[in-house]
């Protein structure tokens, strides 16, 4: 069964460093998302991406964040200068069409020291 994959599963970084979180969505999906879950809190929407551009972003998704689909299969989330409060589990999701469900990856746990 096709699935969304994410790498790495766990990333530890120093405050101020750049990180890139990678996702491979399901191959025929067209809509891509990043969500995050701070420990003990609810899952929050960060950004959606369709047709090679951001279609919606939340207030959390400030200038330190960017997304890219560099090669038609990967979907990346970059944090330019990490802060302590960026420590969270980051989930990638994708969906095929307008009314289909979202499929989530296993997440990347980001720890900023």
Partner 1 sequence: AQSVTQLGSHVSVSEGALVLLRCNYSSSVPPYLFWYVQYPNQGLQLLLKYTSAATLVKGINGFEAEFKKSETSFHLTKPSAHMSDAAEYFCAVRGGGATNKLIFGTGTLLAVQP
* Total interface residues for partner 1 by CB under 8 A: 24
The nearest distance, CB 41 to partner 1, in angstroms, is 7
Q: Establish if 96 lies at the interface with partner 1 (CB under 8 A).
A: no
CA atoms 73, 3, 13, 64: torsion sign: positive
Q: Establish if 103 lies at the interface with partner 1 (CB under 8 A).
A: yes
Q: Are 48 and 109 in contact (CB under 8 A)?
A: no
Q: Establish if 48 lies at the interface with partner 1 (CB under 8 A).
A: yes
Q: Are 21 and 74 in contact (CB under 8 A)?
A: no
Decide: helix, strand or coil at residue 73: coil
Can you give the binding site for partner 1, defined by CB under 8 A?
A: 31, 33, 35, 41-45, 48, 50, 55-56, 91, 93, 95, 98-99, 101-107
């Amino acid at each position: 069964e096709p699935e969304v994959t994410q790498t790495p599963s766990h990333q530890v970084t120093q405050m101020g460093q750049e990180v890139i979180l990678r996702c491979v969505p399901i191959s025929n999906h067209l809509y891509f998302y990043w969500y995050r879950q701070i420990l003990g809190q609810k899952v929050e929407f960060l950004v959606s991406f369709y047709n090679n551009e951001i279609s919606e972003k939340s207030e959390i998704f400030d200038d330190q964040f960017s997304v890219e689909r560099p090669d038609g299969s990967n979907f990346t989330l970059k944090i330019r200068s990490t802060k302590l409060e960026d420590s969270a589990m980051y989930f990638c999701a994708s969906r095929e069409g307008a009314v289909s469900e979202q499929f989530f990856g296993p997440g990347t746990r980001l720890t900023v020291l």
